[in-house]
Amino acid sequence: MTLTVLNPATEEPIAELEQAGVEEADEAVARARAAYPAWRAVAPADRARLLRRLAGLVEEHAEELARIESENVGKPIAGARGEVGMVSQVFHFYAGAVDKHFGETIPAAGGAALTFREPLGVVGLIVPWNFPLNIASWKLAPALAVGNTAVLKPAELTPLSAMRLAELVLEAGIPEGVVNVLVGKGSVVGQRLVEHPDVAKIGFTGSTEVGRLVMKGAAETIKRVTLELGGKSANVIFEDADLERAAAAAPYAVFDNAGQDCCARSRVLVQKSVYDRFLDRFVDATRRVKVGDPADESTEMGPLISAEHREKVGSYVDGVSSAFRGEVPESAGFWFPCTIVEATNDYRVAREEVFGPVAAVIPFEDEADAIRIANDTPYGLSGSIWTRDGARALRVARAIDAGVLSVNANTSVRVQTPFGGFKQSGFGRELGMHALDGYSEVKSVFVSTEG
Ligand code: NDP
């Protein structure tokens, strides 16, 4: 079966690919399994050197990779460049981490107790279409650093950057079979990886619905899973915040990547006393978001990923009156305008992950009310708190049930800090030293010192 890959900004085909099925998935797992003993035996300094070489090749090919990603996902080229920059940083970071993921020595009578961090074996990495190369690197780099081999399954809609990365992996000198890219349907090859007895772990990013299937499927073989799933994050604006800064930043916290971001602050919670002032400024700032051709250097927002996804996003605002609805190009492409809706937390648009450029603005009374509303969601991935009161910032940050929060900023992702969710946003942590724990087992060894 062939797969036609589209450019979402033009609806034109950009590639025709062979799709893998179950047989090819099994072959990829077998290649990864065969490559595992030699890869785990590579000396730490050599493994680090290979990962560093890959980081360097990603840097050298940064413009090419950014263009692939921009065309395939419809991402503005400036943003795609930033993402590729992060990919090389991720490989640099884990190259440096190879020999810094330590075991322990633990006091024990009659000898020494030691722990070792052992690789898992073959890991299955299933990634989505919204940040294809970035999310692939967050999984691949720590997995390889610890000594695992991998089968990477990109989303059907966006396989091109992962395919190019696989070529760079070989060019870096990483042996054949260590990284295997599998282009095929999630329900076929993804599911096969989840069920395959020789796959030790699934690192998954995607919808909560498929995350549930992954967890169920993994139960049969007691496979390890880490799940990075959906979100419905709150951007909480208190009356003592720098409203100008908060409002100027708010559009990018939800409309970046056309809202197709699990960390999108798609619920904007505003204290009633400053609600109107904030909303006016938020609308003004949103009006200035530049929507259009992703290849244009000044574009800030591109189209959605597919026609089907555009229909789903539209269903959240059909018949709902909006405080603002922006403009989009009239040409072909899966365009959807920046949309701001005034809501309460029980509106569908405030409860479900829209994954499009739609913000729900919700008023709150006081700090306790803000925390209650922020936590009134099955998700718990990310969020922001805007206030000039440092004690309140920390109080609220501790009280919100989410894995990644920022104060007076809207960033969620850094190479060196842990990233992941509470509640139905999943479990396990990516990035930072924490990610290494998810790709290794702790082994405890007791050595008797008795003569
Ligand atoms: P999915 O969860 O369907 O896809 C994520 C990945 O899982 C893809 O590689 C997909 O493959 C694969 N997959 C699909 N079905 C299975 C399965 N049964 N077993 C194993 N792997 C599978 O997300 P979508 O891309 O369809 O997006 C749907 C919604 O998910 C979005 O609207 C958004 O709400 C949410 N989402 C959240 C993301 C996040 O970062 N948290 C990222 C993407 C989506 P393939 O696509 O090839 O079929």
Radius of gyration over every alpha carbon of the chain, rounded to an integer in angstroms? 23
Ligand 1 pocket, mutate which of 191, 202, 207 (most atoms under 8 A from CB): 207
- Ligand 1 centroid, distance to 85 Cα (angstroms): 24
Instruction: Report the SS3 class of residue 403.
Output: coil
Distance, in Å, from the CA atom of 71 to the CA atom of 10, rounded to the nearest integer, reads 9
Beta bridge partners of 3: 17
Query: Does the structure show a pLDDT above 90 at 1?
Result: no
CB of 205 within 6 A of ligand 1: the answer is: yes
Q: Is 128 in the pocket of ligand 1 (CB under 6 A)?
A: yes
Is residue 307 within 8 A of residue 400, CB to CB? The reply is no
- Ligand 1: residue whose CA is nearest its atom 26: 207
Q: What pLDDT does residue 410 have? A: 98
- Output the pLDDT for position 63: 98
Laid out side by side, the sheet with 440-448 consists of 105-108, 111-119, 440-448
* Tally of residues, the chain: 451
338 is a catalytic site residue: no
Cβ of 215 below 6 Å from ligand 1: no
For residue 67, the surrounding DSSP H or E stretch is helix 62-73
Going by CA atoms, what residue is nearest to atom 40 of ligand 1?
262
Between CA 358 and CA 374 the distance in angstroms is 17
Indicate if ligand 1 lies below 6 Å from the C-beta of 232: no
CA–CA separation, 250 vs 233, rounded Å?
12
CB 426 within 8 A of CB 257: no
Position 266 scores a pLDDT of 98
Residue pLDDT, tens place only, 353-401:
999 999 999 999 999 999 999 999 999 999 999 999 999 999 999 999 9
275-298: pLDDT as tens digits? 999 999 999 999 999 999 999 999
pLDDT tens for 245-286 read 999 999 999 999 999 999 999 999 999 999 999 999 999 999
Instruction: Give pLDDT, residue 177.
Output: 98
Q: What is the per-residue pLDDT for 70?
A: 98
Q: Is any ligand 1 atom within 6 A of the Cβ of residue 185?
A: yes
- pLDDT category at 131 given cuts 50, 70, 90 is very high
Cβ atoms of 348 and 301 within 8 Å: the answer is no
- Cα distance between residue 223 and residue 204, in whole Å: 12
Cβ 127 vs Cβ 162: under 8 Å: yes
Section 117-128 average pLDDT: 98
Q: Quickly count: other Cβ atoms within 10 Å of residue 352's Cβ.
A: 17
**H-helix or E-strand spanning residue 89:** helix 77-97
Q: What is the pLDDT of residues 424-443, one digit of tens each?
A: 999 999 999 999 999 999 99
| Residue closest to 134 by CA, chosen among 75, 209, 211 | 75
Half-sphere exposure in the Cβ direction for 276 (13 Å, CA)? 1
Ligand 1 pocket member 10 (CB < 6 A):
no
Annotated active-site residue in 24, 69, 156, 228? 228
Give the pLDDT band of residue 451 (cuts 50, 70, 90): confident
Q: Return the pLDDT at 15.
A: 98
DSSP 236-250: EE-TTS-HHHHHHHH
* Of 17, 73, 126, best ligand 1 pocket probe by most atoms within 8 Å of the beta carbon: 126
Per-residue pLDDT, averaged over 175-187, amounts to 98
Tell me what the mean pLDDT of segment 316-325 comes to: 94
Confidence of residue 218 (pLDDT cuts 50, 70, 90): very high
Question: For 163-173, what is each residue's pLDDT tens digit?
Answer: 999 999 999 99
DSSP string, 251-316: HHHHHGGGG--TT---EEEEEGGGHHHHHHHHHHHHHT--BS-TTSTT--B---S-HHHHHHHHHT
Element (H, E) at 396: helix 390-399
**Mean pLDDT of the chain, nearest integer:** 98
Has 228 been annotated as catalytic? Answer: yes
